[in-house]
Chain A
Amino acid sequence: GENVEQHPSTLSVQEGDSAVIKCTYSDSASNYFPWYKQELGKRPQLIIDIRSNVGEKKDQRIAVTLNKTAKHFSLHITETQPEDSAVYFCAASILDTGGFKTIFGAGTRLFVKA
């Protein structure tokens, strides 16, 4: 089955710096890759996603890149702000007979120091 690995587990940056989180997946059939942000005690919220037929997507300060050949994808946050501090999860999804199956990475705790 699908396995998603995420690195680093913890990331600390200065306000204004960039943050990069990397993920790899194992199932080449996965073709949808969402990223979620989770604040303490809250539910995960989608921040950006990318489909397998796209190599890069950007939304203001957030961008995601996908390398299907290498089976890895990355989240880039530029000009980080203290409110970006949270846990970020990558995920890989596939549509199969049972439904929409999404496997998550273990998460990256991002600290943005003011």
Chain B
Amino acid sequence: NAGVTQTPKFQVLKTGQSMTLQCAQDMNHEYMSWYRQDPGMGLRLIHYSVGAGITDQGEVPNGYNVSRSTTEDFPLRLLSAAPSQTSVYFCASSYSGDRAPIYYEQYFGPGTRLTVT
């Protein structure tokens, strides 16, 4: 099991460029989320998903798009990068359990450090 993987590890973008941060998990988890963590700050929820085809907005969704076409993958797309999006981005996944509502540990990926100049 690779767990939650994220690519790339580091990325530098110019203002206005677009890119996609990749996230994949091999644990057959239904729940997946994207967070951003600014220096010295907590994690803020960007988007989250309950399964393929179902996503919802978190606390700070503006400037980001997501899609969930498979259980394994949950890419995050930056539409037009801005310096305010300089941050570390974490993807996380969680098992949904056989009986809802039930909660299980979120597993985090190693993060992508993004700098927008």
What residues of chain A have their CB less than 8 Å away from a CB belonging to chain B?
1, 6, 31-32, 34, 43-46, 49, 51, 89, 93, 95-107
CB distance from B55 to the nearest CB of A (A): 7
Using Cβ atoms and an 8 Å threshold, which residues of chain A touch B55?
98-99
A46-B105 CB under 8 A given contacts A101-B56, A101-B58, A104-B44: yes
Docked Cα-Cα span, A103 to B50, in Å, equals 16
Using Cβ atoms and an 8 Å threshold, which residues of chain A touch B101?
31, 95
Using Cβ atoms and an 8 Å threshold, which residues of chain B touch A51?
103
CB distance from A38 to the nearest CB of B (A): 9
Docked Cα-Cα span, A102 to B43, in Å, equals 10
Residue of B nearest to A101 (CB): B48
Partner of B108, one of A6, A44, A105: A44
**Max chain A C-beta neighbours (<10 A), residue from B32, B96, B103, B106:** B103
Residue of B nearest to A2 (CB): B59
CB distance from B39 to the nearest CB of A (A): 11
Using Cβ atoms and an 8 Å threshold, which residues of chain A touch B12?
none
- List 9 extra interface pairs beyond A46-B106, A100-B106, CB under 8 A: A46-B105, A49-B105, A98-B54, A99-B30, A99-B48, A99-B49, A99-B56, A100-B94, A102-B106
Q: Are A104 and B31 in contact (CB under 8 A)?
A: no
Name 24 A/B residue pairs within 8 A (Cβ), A-sorted: A32-B103, A34-B105, A43-B90, A44-B43, A46-B105, A46-B106, A49-B105, A51-B103, A89-B43, A95-B100, A97-B50, A99-B30, A99-B51, A100-B31, A100-B48, A100-B50, A100-B103, A101-B45, A101-B56, A104-B44, A104-B45, A106-B41, A106-B42, A107-B41
